[in-house]
Amino acid sequence: MRVREILLTGATGFLGAELLARLLTGPGDRRVTCVLRGSSDEAIAARGVDALSAALRRAPYASELRRITWTRGDLERAGLGMNPDQLSSLALRIGEIFHCAASTKFDLSLGEAERINVHGTREVLALARRAAASGEFRRLHHVSTAFAAGRRRGRVLAGELPPDRARHFRNTYERTKARAERLLRAQREVPVTIYRPSIIVGDSRDGVTRSWNVLYYPMRLIASRRLPIAPSGGSALLDCVPIDFVADAILALAGRDDTTGATLHLVAGRDAATVPWMIQEIAAGLARSGDPLPPVIPRTVGPARWWIVQQGYRLFGGARARAVATRFAQYAPYTRIDARFDDARERQLLAISRVRLTPPATFVPRIIDYALAANFGRATPRPEPAGDAAWSAAG
Ligand SMILES: NC(=O)c1ccc[n+]([C@@H]2O[C@H](COP(=O)([O-])OP(=O)(O)OC[C@H]3O[C@@H](n4cnc5c(N)ncnc54)[C@H](OP(=O)(O)O)[C@@H]3O)[C@@H](O)[C@H]2O)c1
C-alpha cells in the first residue's frame, strides 16, 4: 500500500520551513504537499523554495524538490479557497497534517486574528476529517503556543486553557490560539497532537534566524541604546527556545503513538531566562561585538512606573518615540511573566529520541551575536549609537 503524503501549512514561515527541511532530509522518502497562498503556482513555488533554501542553508536538491507539491490555498477562505475536486483529491492523498500557518502578530483585531488562527484551523480540521473518513489518516499535528494559557501564573501544565474572556489573555494572538485548541479538543473524529512552543528564537548552534519579531525588537532597542528604561515585573521569566529544538522536538514527538491526543510544551521550563539576565547578556554581546561605546543597560522598573514612563514618551516624545512606545507596548506584558511552563513529561519523551534543549546560557549569546552581526535583519549597518540615552528613534 502506498504511504500517504504529509500536508504542511505555513511552509514559508519560520517554523514551517524548518519542518519541511527536516521532513525532506530525515528518514523515509515521503511526499509533502505544502499549501501556500499566492497569486500563481510559480509565485508560491518560488517563495517556498526560498524559505526551504534558507532552512537547509543550501539550494534544495532536485530529488528533494520532486517530493514536494506546492499547492495554492488560503486558509482564511472556505475550503481553503480550493475547488471541490482539488479538495477531494487532497483528502484521499494525505495521511498526516502539520499545521503551522498562523498570524503571530499581537496587535490584530480579534476578527482578523480569528480569521487565520481559528477559522484557518477549522478549515484544516475539515480537510483532516475528510481524510480520516477514508480510513488512512494518522494524525493532525497542530502548532499552538505556550501562551495559549494566557495570564496564568505559577506552574502551568501543557493542557491548561483559561476561559475565553479577553481579560485572561495578553492579546488576540493568545486568545485565538486558545480558541483553535478548544475547537480541536472538542472533536473526536480526528486524532490530534498539540505542540506548545514558548518564544521561538534563532538556531541554538549559531543563532541564525529569519524571523525578527517578538524578542528581537526589544533586543534591537537595547542594542541601539534607545531603551534607557525597561519594564520588568514579578519573576520576569522569559521562556524562549531555539528553532532547531522546536522543529526537532515536534518531529520526534510526532513519531510516537503515545503522544496522540496530548498537548505538549516545547519550552525552557525550569531553565527559562529572565528579563534582567537577558539585558545583561545583550550588554555582553555588544562588548563582544567590539562596539566602542559602553552599552546603555536599561534600568528596570515595575509595571506602575513603566506606565508613567510610557505616558511620558507618548505625550512629550517626538513622532518616532511615540511609534516606538506604541510598538513596544505589545511586548511589555511579556516582561512580567510569573508562569513556569511544566515540561517534565516532554523532557522524558524527548530524551528517548535524544532531543535536548541547549541551555539558554549557551544559546542566548549565540542568538545575540548573530542578531548584532546581521543588524537584526536590516539591510543597513547598525546605526551609530545615539549620543544621549534617549528613547529617541528607530521604529
Ligand atoms: N514564532 C514564535 O515565536 C512562535 C512561538 C510559539 C508558537 N508559534 C507558532 O508556531 C507556528 C509557526 O509560527 P512562525 O513563527 O513560523 O510564523 P510565521 O513565520 O509568521 O509564518 C506564518 C506562516 O503562516 C502562513 N499563513 C498566514 N496566513 C495564511 C493564510 N491565510 N493562508 C495560508 N497560509 C497562511 C504564512 O504564509 P505567508 O508566507 O503567505 O505569509 C507563513 O507561511 C504558528 O502556529 C505560531 O502560532 C510561534
Name which of 132, 119, 118 is nearest 177 in CA terms.
Answer: 118
Three-class SS of residue 138? coil
Quick check: 293 pLDDT over 60? yes
Quick check: 98 pLDDT over 60? yes
Confidence of residue 371 (pLDDT cuts 50, 70, 90): very high
**C-beta of residue 105 within 8 angstroms of C-beta of residue 173:** yes
Instruction: Over range 172-191, report the average pLDDT.
Output: 98
Instruction: Over range 125-149, report the average pLDDT.
Output: 96
Quick check: 27 pLDDT over 90? no
pLDDT of residue 379: 72
143 ligand 1 Cβ < 6 A: yes
**C-beta of residue 209 within 8 angstroms of C-beta of residue 312:** no
Quick check: 388 pLDDT over 50? no
Distance of CA 364 from the midpoint of ligand 1 (Å): 23
214 ligand 1 Cβ < 6 A: yes
pLDDT of residue 356: 96
Parallel, antiparallel or unpaired: strands 229-231 and 154-156: unpaired
pLDDT of residue 332: 92
- 144-182 core/surface letters (b: 16 or more CB in 10 A; e: else): bbbbbbbebeeebebebbbeeeeebbbbbbbbbbbbbbe
Rounded percentage of the chain residues whose pLDDT exceeds 90: 82
116 ligand 1 Cβ < 6 A: yes
Quick check: 394 pLDDT over 60? no
pTM: 0.95
112 ligand 1 Cβ < 6 A: no
Quick check: 197 pLDDT over 50? yes
223-242 tens-digit pLDDT = 998 888 899 888 999 999 99
Cell 500563481 maps to which residue? 40
145 ligand 1 Cβ < 6 A: yes
Confidence of residue 385 (pLDDT cuts 50, 70, 90): very low
For ligand 1, mutation pick of 8, 15, 117 (most atoms within 8 Å of CB): 15
Quick check: 318 pLDDT over 80? yes
